[in-house]
Chain A
């Protein structure tokens, strides 16, 4: 009992030990006070659930007393992970999403970049109108967008399909080969404007003097766009790429909604849908393991991409 107070002072002393400024104690407390509102929910609603999921992924279900006896969970080591790695459906969903990402992400970002560069030219009139219009799809929740597009894809009721029919085209947006790209189209429609806005904001912060100097050197608008603007906003292009990689791996809403009208989307179409389907069958431990593997793959891919491009990005 008696040595509690000294120990407490030792702790305080050790934390304040390396401070350069005098009277650091109160200041440190102020910083802490400002950070607590962030850290407390962050821990409660982020770290704890993540930790819980990781913990769950190491458990297996056992049962005593036959099928209607008692089920309990026990530590099973990497059993759930072994099942994930042996699950063909998991890897084919990863492959599908890989194909989706390799095509959709570059297309979307390229379109976003072109739009941002066009918005940034002095030649364009009605800038704010175009900016708002391009950004507007982002204001639509993903599920709603997917429902809207389902209506446009649906052969029975779509004015789009009817219109194409009248010019002799018979597209099957929901067919086995096309449905992945129909989903990609929904994602592209949703996110292009958002990515464009990030790039456009970066363009806005480039000092005008640079352009004047380039013009004096005889650079065309084209050269200014590709040789000055694009390299300068490279960090924001990389940032949007990382966001898009993460978004792609977590794709859920678009295919899940399209699944209502197309039988060519299975319940295990994307990794997240697979995790959901497994969880809905009460196999929470397996679903947790799938989620952890998805998270690790996402982490590796996004950080890998950042490392690859970090020199360019100056990150």
Chain B
């Protein structure tokens, strides 16, 4: 036997030992987050880590640092792999004090023990009154603690090419039925023109549409999740869009936000856009020569009552291991409620604030030149008021979204329906929760 072989054997043994060591720390047993941490101010200077994906956030943090020499914030932009970065940091026990987490990822991360409850800080619980109700109910998990403060939202509305609507003598649709009728008229008048597009690879937008119809897909009660992704309310929405797809009244070949999508709008092939508040800058910046041709109106409704959905938005969460809750709450509430900070975030990052004070910002209460000087943010503020506060995301939302998208894409390509896609998503939700050992049952 040569030395080399001995070395290989040693190496294999070492590798096995390494695996054993790694395996030793592969099973984290963190303490549950249920116990609220204490909220003592630190003695002396404190430095907080804050991870986010917002463009221009460094300028906002610089403003804070200038004003608060004793609570310095270091920020890191993690937009290239937001949840991967956060997940890895949690695994390594090196999470920042504060991190940006989307509403739909909150339950998932909480099952991973990612957060700390800041309700020991009176400033945290007192912040409740400063935010739009549905955002607070999601970031406090129905008022069971303060795990994050809301940052921005995406209340939905309908963007309309008013010139195309005028040309074809269409009224602004009040209900989804009106909208379908308009789709029919447009298509009759010009086969190359569609009322909108449906991106089957966009679960987030579709979830917003479901939310609008009070489809409460997840409920947590009695120590388990009750999963009803494919409820009657969801199916009503799915069947509606399926009809439009079958009749070729909506395009399904455009990915949201892609060059292809903008090109189709540029070529006047699409007459409206079902979108969120943050979408206003997309059209303004990508289709500058359509200035003055767009209006923003409330989303069509399913019944007589005003109801809206939300698509997107984030919170700033208090992460596990946070030793400076008092200072974190101070910075976090300034970041997300202070008019100066909100104005800067809106200007640089295009954020539509979750704080109720946001609607009073000059930038959000004046007419917007691109949209005929209409006060479009009034429409979004109304939309935000009409969002179902009882809606909750599931603890395996990302996996469910992928499965929903795959099945919706199949439906758009002609095999199965969007309703089948909901059933597939329901099955995935239950299966993925079982994989994570999260107690769940089907039904409301």
Which of A's residues lie within 8 Å of B, judged by CB? 14-15, 18, 28-29, 31-32, 35-36, 39-40, 43-44, 47-48, 51-52, 55-56, 59-63, 65-74, 154-157, 174-176, 259-261, 263-268, 277-278, 280-283, 286
The listed residue (B3, B29, B33) touching A72 by CB distance below 8 A is B29
Residue among A68, A71, A157, A265 with the most chain B CB within 10 A? A68
Minimal beta-carbon separation of B117 from chain A (angstroms): 10
Minimal beta-carbon separation of A90 from chain B (angstroms): 13
A281 CA to B437 CA, complexed, in Å: 13
Q: Give the nearest-CB partner of A34 in chain B.
A: B4
Segment of B108-116, B332-340, B378-386 engaged in the interface with chain A: B108-116
Q: Give the nearest-CB partner of B31 in chain A.
A: A70
A48 CA to B12 CA, complexed, in Å: 9
Q: Give the nearest-CB partner of A54 in chain B.
A: B19
Whether A47 lies near B260 (C-beta < 8 A) is: no
B413 at the A interface (CB under 8 A): yes
In the complex, which residues 239-280 of chain B have their Cβ closer than 8 Å to any Cβ of chain A?
252-255, 258-260, 263-264
Contacts of B439 in A (CB 8 A): 66-67
Contacts of B32 in A (CB 8 A): 65, 68-70
Whether A156 lies near B264 (C-beta < 8 A) is: yes
B412 at the A interface (CB under 8 A): yes
In the complex, which residues 300-319 of chain B have their Cβ closer than 8 Å to any Cβ of chain A?
none
Whether B224 lies near A67 (C-beta < 8 A) is: yes
Contacts of B31 in A (CB 8 A): 70
Segment of B20-28, B65-73, B92-100, B204-212 engaged in the interface with chain A: B20-28
Contacts of A47 in B (CB 8 A): 11-12, 15
Contacts of A68 in B (CB 8 A): 32-34, 110-111, 113
A157 CA to B266 CA, complexed, in Å: 12
A156 CA to B270 CA, complexed, in Å: 13
Whether A155 lies near B398 (C-beta < 8 A) is: no
Whether A283 lies near B264 (C-beta < 8 A) is: no
Contacts of A35 in B (CB 8 A): 4, 7
Contacts of A268 in B (CB 8 A): 406
Minimal beta-carbon separation of A59 from chain B (angstroms): 7
**10 smallest A-B Cβ distances: which pairs?**
A281-B399, A63-B437, A263-B409, A266-B406, A28-B3, A156-B260, A51-B19, A156-B263, A176-B413, A43-B11
Minimal beta-carbon separation of B434 from chain A (angstroms): 10
Minimal beta-carbon separation of A73 from chain B (angstroms): 5
Whether A15 lies near B406 (C-beta < 8 A) is: no
Between A and B, 27 residue pairs with Cβ closer than 8 Å are A15-B2, A28-B3, A28-B4, A31-B2, A31-B3, A35-B7, A36-B7, A39-B8, A43-B15, A51-B15, A51-B19, A68-B32, A70-B31, A70-B32, A73-B26, A156-B254, A156-B259, A157-B260, A176-B414, A266-B406, A266-B409, A267-B402, A268-B406, A280-B83, A282-B108, A282-B112, A286-B435
